[in-house]
Structure 1
Amino acid sequence: MYGPDAVAVLRSEGRAPRRARLASLTSHALSYTTGDDHLAVGSGLFWRNAVHVAPTGKIQRVDAVQGPWQRRLRLASVVIHLAGGHPLVARHRHAAEAAAIADNLRTRSTPTPCPGASTPLADQAAEAG
């Protein structure tokens, strides 16, 4: 993503806290934002900023992880594993915020079953009952 949309993502309210600069010397622009059907993670140093956008439908797994430096600074990162691609990482968030982001993405990425669709477990229960 380039242009004004990328700048808006990098300057969104999902910016990392100031103490995140102590955890990473190479990333000064850390941001995260979600839309109705997508999420965007921004990172970079000075003019070398990158924004990675992915649809929420491609999310396979979401983890909130903490390294030793992050634990000391009360920070955590959210790792978003996508289908058919590399994981996106929202680095150095407040620990409570990272847990909330992970829970939000888990609920948004959980597929809803189609009405009237049968599953093997439902078919076995109907046959047994």
Structure 2
Amino acid sequence: MLDACRAQQRVLVTRDRHLAAHAGADVRVSLLVANSLDAQASELTTALGIDWTWAPFTRCLLDNTPLHEATPDERGRVPSRARDLPGPFRACPLCGRIYWPGSHVRRMQARLGQWHALARTGPGA
């Protein structure tokens, strides 16, 4: 993992103190110490300047490939109860997974909005 971070100039995000200690000066490390997801998001915002509302739901959860607008054939694979949702419907060109705006998306949009607001005001503001 450390070799991949070096080769690709990526940031290592970890809670593993041992791994972080062995990263070396040539790997940028963000060591998370908080236990809750919300607090970890705050740590990442501070350390990396993440904007949680920028381009959400545009990459595949399995392989991180950018999604494209689902074709009619791909939309046909969406469960019937979700086909009438307003969309957008997106598909991963690598693994073929289909995404649509179900209740999980609304819940995540709310959470991302909270993280974004917290980043602007700071914890405890």
Q: The TM-score by the shorter chain falls in which range?
A: under 0.3
Task: Kindly indicate which of the two structures has a greater share of residues assigned to helix.
Answer: 2
Structure 1 length normalisation: TM-score? 0.27
Structure 2 length normalisation: TM-score? 0.28
Task: Kindly indicate which of the two structures has a greater share of residues assigned to strand.
Answer: 1
